[in-house]
Structure 1
């Protein structure tokens, strides 16, 4: 029913389509490496935890001045931590967006260049007559009942994205 003419191109375009579908996950993984909390943020968080534990040992009624002094220190550190984490999130979002755009552009250019380079190569030949679709499926190629690289990439991309949708969501 199906005869593979160019197995290398079949595998090559399948891998490209899979990588293209996984670009958002790759972008998140790469951006995640740059958005970890700094040692300063971890140190501030440890100080807040220590001050809160110390504050629990102080009676609010009996030693109000000491309690409120600890509370002011905690509030100051929390505000500083909040500012640092907000700037880190902003930087992380910018990195994630940039990495995602770069990966999508690279994958898009690679796929387009490959399709143009191998435009006349048929990937597979279907046995039987596909009368109304013969010319559409094999467009730049002259082989009857063949599936050209253009159509193979289109079919593969749609198939891979629909198969990976539950995994990538």
Structure 2
């Protein structure tokens, strides 16, 4: 019923469409590599934990002044830690967005250039007659009952995205 005319292009476009659909999943590990906590953040966290441990050893009733002094230091360091964390999250978001856009544009350009380059190449051909759809499916190829690269990319992209949608 179906004859593969160009297996290389068939798999090439399926792989490109798959990568295009998987970009949101690919971006996450790339962005986490660039947005790790800095040494300053780690040192602040260690200092806060050390001060909290010291504070637990002090009785609030007996040594209120020392306890309050440690509490103010802890609050100050926690605010610095919060600011550093917020800055890191903002940086991570910017990196995710940039990487996502760069990957999508690169893959889209590859698909568009490939479709233009191989526009007259049929990918698969049906053995039967597809009269009402024949001219749409084969455009711009001249082979009857064939599916052109344009239609193959469209069908591949829609089907792969609908299959991957539950996982993304």
TM-score by length of 1: 0.96
Describe how 1:11-160 pairs up with structure 2 within 5 A: 11-160=11-160
TM superposition shift of 1:167: 1.4
1:132 aligns to what SS in structure 2?
A: coil
Q: Would you identify which runs of 4 or more consecutive aligned residues in structure 1 move more than 6 Å?
A: none
Q: Which moves more between the two structures, 26-35 or 112-121? A: 26-35
Q: Secondary structure at the match of 2:119?
A: coil
In structure 1, stretches of 5+ residues that fail to align are none
The DSSP-based 3-state class of the residue aligned with 2:144 is: coil
Q: Summarize deviations over 1:41-64 as a string: whole Å, max 9, x none.
A: 111111111111111111111110
What is the distance in 2 between the residues matched to 1:62 and 1:131? Answer: 94
CA distance in 1: counterparts of 2:51 and 2:39, whole angstroms: 18
For the aligned residues, what is the CA RMSD?
0.9
Unaligned runs of 5+ in 2: none
2: CA distance between counterparts of 1:24 and 1:100? Answer: 7
TM superposition shift of 1:20: 0.4
TM-score (normalised: structure 2): 0.97
